[in-house]
Structure 1
């Protein structure tokens, strides 16, 4: 298996992981099924992958772990777990009794819910969050919705996906109200919030493009400002006031994540990584990396190369 697998869909991921795919229909960028029907051999540990889709796990009865970058979360009964297209992760299962998995891509959201999907559901851009254990009453309310979605998914209705889109929107609204009602810093209808949303979207996309080789130059603050037709100082002030972190910290943290990923999961030279991440000299990259990790890129690679 490749060490830095990029998964465009759940079908592609399951093929990569050598898991059964007969439950999957990804013609519209959407899937839903119960993990108990997959036939995992437990305990199960996945290889590392980076998805290009969103996912929700509704764990009625089961247990396992998800690891994203260096953060590991336990998945427990009556929990809801959300992830978006972002960094490399792995998952493991020790017990699967009743766990519903829903995946969808951005195109599905925009085709069947709203072209302004992030305006209505800004939590879709949330940074990595741990699974949320919810009340019995709330779990039962969302269970009724996702079971109806699954029924439509398995059906043959001509309007199958528009119906699923409407039901998914109801599910997203319930989750937003129950789990992310106080989501900060992005608030709907606020210009500054939209700037943050656009910045975070571009930041994620840009580093995915860098990793995929679609672009070769790392964006600076000026580039992110130009993308929104803003003065860089204004963009910096908005990001700092809304998120509590300077824009250069956002960029540095994302650069560090990509550096660790490339050192762990690729065989390209440190010199190549240096230029890929926008540093003019290997010494500059090494100093940056050591400042944030306490170790050199060479030492980190030796200790963590997968």
Structure 2
């Protein structure tokens, strides 16, 4: 049975990656989430039930119908609290929604950016309207219509524009331990930078300042908070994770040392060699032997 579930999840992920889009109905058994590559896909959920959602450093408790917007670049988690949980979910890549890269980045949308409002409370009339839109997306993805991707994009944009017009929910609560929450957000964001799957897609966030800028906090505040909670500076966490990824790539790929260095954000192989030896006591070449 477990093997069948793994194949089902694998098939789901493969299909999603190929098409850049997938929509499905959440069944009444409370399984409100499916496994997918969070690194690459945005998520819109229309759900009815009781839940608690942690998004960056905020927490939202819902008991009714909500519309949730998940950004793959911002850590979030979802606790389903009621036995019955129904609704719809659609997952899509930024390339699918804007194949010609002509519009503003989704990450700057008030629905998806870190400081935005990713959760909206929905009344019965709005829910009925959105149910129809999600239903149409599911219907179209199963059709043979030549321009169905364009039609699905229109449905997604309709949801986005209707949502921006709605009044944002104000029921966010700062976590009681803000330092602990920021640390959790940083560590999950760090983990989401990996694995590095190709030398053509190198590591983008390499320094404490990169993470501070993304999380909209001052780098000194981030460093002070991370060290206070974990006992280690931000830079050490980043370096240790890069070193761990370097070992994994060296062991499980045939990339040459220059490719490994570039993939992990090093301008020159010598910089990577020095970094790797400092953290492991070996050169990359000797580690691979």
What SS does the corresponding residue of 1:31 show, helix, strand or coil? strand
**Residue-by-residue CA offset, 1:175-223 (whole Å, 9 max, x unaligned):** 11114599xxxxxxxxxxxxxxxxxxxx99x9467544654973365x7
**Given the two structures, how large is their TM-score scaled by the length of structure 2?**
0.53
Higher-Rg structure is 2
TM-aligned CA deviation for residue 57 of structure 1:
1.1
1:28 match: 19
Distance 1:152 1:249, change over 3 A: farther
Q: Distance between the aligned counterparts of 2:55 and 2:226, measured in 1?
A: 14
Answering whether residue 275 of structure 2 is matched by residue 275 of structure 1, we say: no
Distance 1:115 1:137, change over 3 A: same
Q: Which runs of 5+ in 2 are unaligned?
A: 171-185, 197-201, 243-289
2:264 match: none
Alignment of 1:1-306 (within 5 A): 25-26=15-16, 27-36=18-27, 40=29, 51-59=39-47, 61-68=48-55, 72-85=59-72, 86-87=74-75, 89-92=77-80, 94-96=82-84, 98-111=86-99, 114-118=102-106, 121-127=109-115, 131-179=119-167, 207=190, 210-212=193-195, 214-215=202-203, 218-219=206-207, 221=209, 247-248=218-219, 252=223, 256=226, 273=237, 275-276=239-240
Distance 1:171 1:74, change over 3 A: same
**Given the two structures, how large is their TM-score scaled by the length of structure 1?**
0.50
**Equivalent residues of 1:109, 1:117 under 8 A apart:** no
Aligned length: 212
RMSD: 5.1
Q: Distance between the aligned counterparts of 1:177 and 1:19, measured in 2?
A: 35
Q: Which runs of 5+ in 1 are unaligned?
A: 1-13, 183-202, 225-235, 264-269, 279-306
